[in-house]
Amino acid sequence: MNYLLEILLIGIGAALINNFVLHYFVGICPFIGVSRQVVTAFGMGCAVTFVISIAAFLSWTVTTYILVPGAPLSSWIAEFFISAERASRIDLTILSYIVYIFAIASSVQFVEMYVRKFFPPLYQSFGVFLPLITTNCAILFACLLIMGHIVGVDNPEDVWDLGKSLTLAVFGGVGFTIAIVIMAGIREELDFCDIPGPFRGAAITLVVAGILAMAFMGFTGVDSGLKKVLTLSTVEKTINGDHLDHMKNN
Protein backbone atom coordinates (compact mmCIF):
# COMPACT_ATOMS: atom_id res chain seq x y z
CA MET A 1 0.00 0.00 0.00
CA ASN A 2 1.08 3.53 -0.72
CA TYR A 3 2.94 5.10 2.21
CA LEU A 4 1.10 8.43 2.00
CA LEU A 5 -2.22 6.64 1.94
CA GLU A 6 -1.27 4.70 5.05
CA ILE A 7 -0.30 7.92 6.83
CA LEU A 8 -3.61 9.50 5.84
CA LEU A 9 -5.58 6.53 7.14
CA ILE A 10 -3.67 6.46 10.42
CA GLY A 11 -4.29 10.18 10.87
CA ILE A 12 -8.03 10.00 10.17
CA GLY A 13 -8.30 6.89 12.31
CA ALA A 14 -6.64 8.54 15.30
CA ALA A 15 -8.42 11.89 15.02
CA LEU A 16 -11.98 10.93 14.14
CA ILE A 17 -12.82 7.23 14.04
CA ASN A 18 -10.97 6.01 17.10
CA ASN A 19 -11.01 9.35 18.87
CA PHE A 20 -8.87 9.14 22.01
CA VAL A 21 -11.53 10.58 24.29
CA LEU A 22 -14.74 9.30 22.81
CA HIS A 23 -13.64 5.84 21.69
CA TYR A 24 -10.73 4.83 23.93
CA PHE A 25 -11.79 6.88 27.00
CA VAL A 26 -8.32 8.23 27.69
CA GLY A 27 -7.84 11.78 28.91
CA ILE A 28 -11.26 11.90 30.54
CA CYS A 29 -10.01 13.88 33.56
CA PRO A 30 -9.12 17.05 31.61
CA PHE A 31 -12.09 16.40 29.32
CA ILE A 32 -14.40 16.83 32.33
CA GLY A 33 -12.24 19.21 34.35
CA VAL A 34 -10.97 21.79 31.86
CA SER A 35 -13.90 21.98 29.44
CA ARG A 36 -15.76 24.94 30.94
CA GLN A 37 -14.62 27.56 28.43
CA VAL A 38 -13.67 27.20 24.79
CA VAL A 39 -10.47 29.24 25.19
CA THR A 40 -8.98 27.19 28.05
CA ALA A 41 -10.12 23.97 26.40
CA PHE A 42 -8.27 24.95 23.23
CA GLY A 43 -5.16 25.78 25.27
CA MET A 44 -5.31 22.41 26.97
CA GLY A 45 -5.78 20.66 23.63
CA CYS A 46 -2.74 22.42 22.15
CA ALA A 47 -0.61 21.59 25.19
CA VAL A 48 -1.61 17.92 24.99
CA THR A 49 -0.87 17.77 21.25
CA PHE A 50 2.53 19.33 21.87
CA VAL A 51 3.50 16.96 24.69
CA ILE A 52 2.05 13.89 23.00
CA SER A 53 4.25 14.48 19.92
CA ILE A 54 7.39 14.77 22.05
CA ALA A 55 6.44 11.70 24.09
CA ALA A 56 5.74 9.71 20.92
CA PHE A 57 9.10 10.68 19.46
CA LEU A 58 10.88 9.65 22.67
CA SER A 59 9.00 6.39 23.07
CA TRP A 60 9.54 5.38 19.44
CA THR A 61 13.27 6.09 19.74
CA VAL A 62 13.67 4.31 23.05
CA THR A 63 11.63 1.30 21.98
CA THR A 64 13.36 0.85 18.64
CA TYR A 65 16.93 1.47 19.76
CA ILE A 66 16.93 0.05 23.29
CA LEU A 67 13.93 -2.04 24.28
CA VAL A 68 13.07 -4.47 21.48
CA PRO A 69 14.97 -7.75 21.16
CA GLY A 70 18.06 -7.16 19.05
CA ALA A 71 17.88 -3.39 19.39
CA PRO A 72 21.13 -1.77 18.23
CA LEU A 73 22.09 0.14 21.36
CA SER A 74 21.34 -2.47 24.01
CA SER A 75 22.89 -5.37 22.08
CA TRP A 76 25.97 -3.25 21.29
CA ILE A 77 26.50 -2.57 25.01
CA ALA A 78 25.74 -6.17 25.96
CA GLU A 79 28.31 -7.49 23.49
CA PHE A 80 31.04 -6.26 25.81
CA PHE A 81 29.87 -8.68 28.48
CA ILE A 82 28.25 -11.68 26.77
CA SER A 83 28.50 -13.40 23.41
CA ALA A 84 27.11 -11.60 20.37
CA GLU A 85 24.53 -14.30 19.73
CA ARG A 86 23.06 -13.97 23.23
CA ALA A 87 23.34 -10.20 23.15
CA SER A 88 21.11 -9.99 20.09
CA ARG A 89 18.35 -11.74 22.01
CA ILE A 90 18.23 -9.35 24.96
CA ASP A 91 14.63 -8.31 25.53
CA LEU A 92 14.05 -5.25 27.68
CA THR A 93 10.37 -4.74 26.87
CA ILE A 94 9.41 -5.65 30.44
CA LEU A 95 10.87 -2.29 31.46
CA SER A 96 8.76 -0.40 28.93
CA TYR A 97 6.13 1.01 31.33
CA ILE A 98 8.69 2.38 33.74
CA VAL A 99 10.77 3.84 30.91
CA TYR A 100 7.76 5.49 29.26
CA ILE A 101 6.42 7.09 32.41
CA PHE A 102 9.88 8.34 33.23
CA ALA A 103 10.34 9.74 29.71
CA ILE A 104 6.95 11.47 29.85
CA ALA A 105 7.50 12.96 33.30
CA SER A 106 10.96 14.26 32.51
CA SER A 107 10.02 15.61 29.08
CA VAL A 108 7.07 17.47 30.58
CA GLN A 109 9.35 19.02 33.20
CA PHE A 110 11.87 19.92 30.53
CA VAL A 111 9.31 21.40 28.17
CA GLU A 112 7.85 23.45 31.00
CA MET A 113 11.22 24.93 31.93
CA TYR A 114 12.11 25.62 28.28
CA VAL A 115 8.81 27.29 27.51
CA ARG A 116 8.96 29.38 30.69
CA LYS A 117 12.44 30.62 29.83
CA PHE A 118 12.14 31.28 26.11
CA PHE A 119 8.42 31.75 25.34
CA PRO A 120 6.87 33.62 28.32
CA PRO A 121 3.59 34.46 26.49
CA LEU A 122 3.14 30.80 25.54
CA TYR A 123 3.84 29.83 29.14
CA GLN A 124 1.22 32.30 30.28
CA SER A 125 -1.35 30.71 27.99
CA PHE A 126 -0.81 27.01 28.59
CA GLY A 127 1.93 26.70 31.16
CA VAL A 128 -0.49 25.97 33.98
CA PHE A 129 -1.73 22.85 32.20
CA LEU A 130 1.69 21.36 31.59
CA PRO A 131 2.29 19.71 35.00
CA LEU A 132 -1.24 18.29 34.88
CA ILE A 133 -0.45 16.57 31.61
CA THR A 134 2.04 14.15 33.19
CA THR A 135 -0.79 12.14 34.63
CA ASN A 136 -2.90 12.45 31.51
CA CYS A 137 -3.63 8.95 30.29
CA ALA A 138 -3.71 10.05 26.65
CA ILE A 139 0.06 10.54 26.54
CA LEU A 140 0.94 7.15 27.98
CA PHE A 141 -1.77 5.57 25.86
CA ALA A 142 -0.22 6.96 22.66
CA CYS A 143 3.17 5.54 23.73
CA LEU A 144 1.58 2.14 24.39
CA LEU A 145 -0.21 2.13 21.02
CA ILE A 146 3.09 2.87 19.27
CA MET A 147 4.80 0.14 21.29
CA GLY A 148 2.08 -2.28 20.19
CA HIS A 149 3.04 -1.61 16.57
CA ILE A 150 6.77 -2.15 17.18
CA VAL A 151 7.03 -4.98 19.73
CA GLY A 152 5.73 -8.40 18.86
CA VAL A 153 5.01 -7.67 15.18
CA ASP A 154 5.98 -10.74 13.16
CA ASN A 155 6.35 -9.21 9.73
CA PRO A 156 9.29 -6.72 9.68
CA GLU A 157 7.51 -4.65 7.02
CA ASP A 158 4.59 -3.98 9.39
CA VAL A 159 6.82 -2.44 12.07
CA TRP A 160 5.98 1.23 12.34
CA ASP A 161 8.59 3.84 11.50
CA LEU A 162 8.95 7.26 13.08
CA GLY A 163 6.68 8.96 10.53
CA LYS A 164 3.70 6.73 11.26
CA SER A 165 4.22 6.98 15.02
CA LEU A 166 4.37 10.78 14.93
CA THR A 167 1.28 10.90 12.70
CA LEU A 168 -0.64 8.81 15.22
CA ALA A 169 0.46 11.03 18.09
CA VAL A 170 -0.19 14.38 16.40
CA PHE A 171 -3.58 13.39 15.04
CA GLY A 172 -4.50 11.76 18.34
CA GLY A 173 -3.79 15.12 19.96
CA VAL A 174 -5.84 16.87 17.28
CA GLY A 175 -8.71 14.48 17.96
CA PHE A 176 -8.46 15.27 21.66
CA THR A 177 -8.54 19.00 20.88
CA ILE A 178 -11.59 18.58 18.63
CA ALA A 179 -13.46 16.62 21.30
CA ILE A 180 -12.63 18.95 24.20
CA VAL A 181 -13.41 22.12 22.22
CA ILE A 182 -16.79 20.77 21.09
CA MET A 183 -17.49 19.77 24.68
CA ALA A 184 -16.56 23.23 25.97
CA GLY A 185 -18.83 24.85 23.39
CA ILE A 186 -21.74 22.68 24.53
CA ARG A 187 -21.01 23.35 28.20
CA GLU A 188 -20.99 27.11 27.66
CA GLU A 189 -24.54 26.76 26.34
CA LEU A 190 -25.48 24.32 29.11
CA ASP A 191 -24.91 27.07 31.67
CA PHE A 192 -28.14 28.69 30.52
CA CYS A 193 -30.16 25.49 30.81
CA ASP A 194 -32.33 24.41 33.70
CA ILE A 195 -30.72 21.10 34.65
CA PRO A 196 -32.15 18.96 37.47
CA GLY A 197 -30.07 19.50 40.62
CA PRO A 198 -28.36 16.11 40.99
CA PHE A 199 -27.21 16.18 37.36
CA ARG A 200 -25.44 19.55 37.50
CA GLY A 201 -21.72 19.40 36.86
CA ALA A 202 -20.07 16.13 35.95
CA ALA A 203 -23.19 13.98 35.47
CA ILE A 204 -24.73 16.04 32.66
CA THR A 205 -21.27 16.42 31.09
CA LEU A 206 -20.94 12.65 30.90
CA VAL A 207 -24.40 12.27 29.36
CA VAL A 208 -23.55 14.93 26.77
CA ALA A 209 -20.26 13.14 26.11
CA GLY A 210 -22.25 9.95 25.49
CA ILE A 211 -24.35 11.70 22.86
CA LEU A 212 -21.17 13.17 21.34
CA ALA A 213 -19.64 9.68 21.24
CA MET A 214 -22.74 8.48 19.36
CA ALA A 215 -22.21 11.26 16.83
CA PHE A 216 -18.56 10.26 16.42
CA MET A 217 -19.65 6.65 15.81
CA GLY A 218 -20.92 7.99 12.50
CA PHE A 219 -17.30 8.13 11.32
CA THR A 220 -17.00 4.34 11.55
CA GLY A 221 -16.08 2.93 8.17
CA VAL A 222 -14.83 6.22 6.76
CA ASP A 223 -11.33 4.77 6.60
CA SER A 224 -12.22 1.67 4.61
CA GLY A 225 -14.39 3.75 2.26
CA LEU A 226 -11.62 6.24 1.74
CA LYS A 227 -9.11 3.45 1.19
CA LYS A 228 -11.34 1.91 -1.45
CA VAL A 229 -11.84 5.21 -3.29
CA LEU A 230 -8.15 6.18 -3.21
CA THR A 231 -6.77 2.78 -4.24
CA LEU A 232 -9.40 2.52 -7.00
CA SER A 233 -8.47 5.89 -8.44
CA THR A 234 -4.76 4.99 -8.53
CA VAL A 235 -5.60 1.64 -10.14
CA GLU A 236 -7.73 3.41 -12.75
CA LYS A 237 -4.92 5.82 -13.49
CA THR A 238 -2.44 3.04 -14.10
CA ILE A 239 -4.94 1.18 -16.27
CA ASN A 240 -5.64 4.32 -18.29
CA GLY A 241 -1.92 4.96 -18.57
CA ASP A 242 -1.32 1.45 -19.86
CA HIS A 243 -4.16 1.89 -22.27
CA LEU A 244 -2.69 5.13 -23.65
CA ASP A 245 0.74 3.53 -24.00
CA HIS A 246 -0.88 0.66 -25.78
CA MET A 247 -2.68 2.99 -28.16
CA LYS A 248 0.49 4.96 -28.84
CA ASN A 249 2.36 1.78 -29.65
CA ASN A 250 -0.36 0.76 -32.03
**Positions in the binding site for other proteins (CB under 8 A):** 22-29, 32, 94-95, 97-98, 101-102, 105, 134-137, 139-141, 144-145, 148, 196-199, 202-211, 213-214, 217
- Are the beta carbons of 139 and 157 closer than 8 angstroms? no
Q: Nearest approach, Cβ of 209 to other proteins (angstroms)?
A: 4
Q: Nearest approach, Cβ of 208 to other proteins (angstroms)?
A: 8
Sign of CA dihedral 160, 139, 11, 144: positive
- Are the beta carbons of 207 and 50 closer than 8 angstroms? no
Nearer to other proteins by C-beta: 87 or 116? Answer: 116
Q: Nearest approach, Cβ of 235 to other proteins (angstroms)?
A: 34
Q: Nearest approach, Cβ of 17 to other proteins (angstroms)?
A: 12
Nearer to other proteins by C-beta: 87 or 151? Answer: 151
Residues 64 and 161: their CA atoms lie apart, in Å, by 9
Nearer to other proteins by C-beta: 28 or 38? Answer: 28
Helical pair 38-62 and 96-118, crossing angle rounded to 10 deg: 130
CA 205 to chain centroid: 24
- Are the beta carbons of 47 and 133 closer than 8 angstroms? yes
Residues 195 and 173: their CA atoms lie apart, in Å, by 31
Nearer to other proteins by C-beta: 88 or 219? Answer: 219
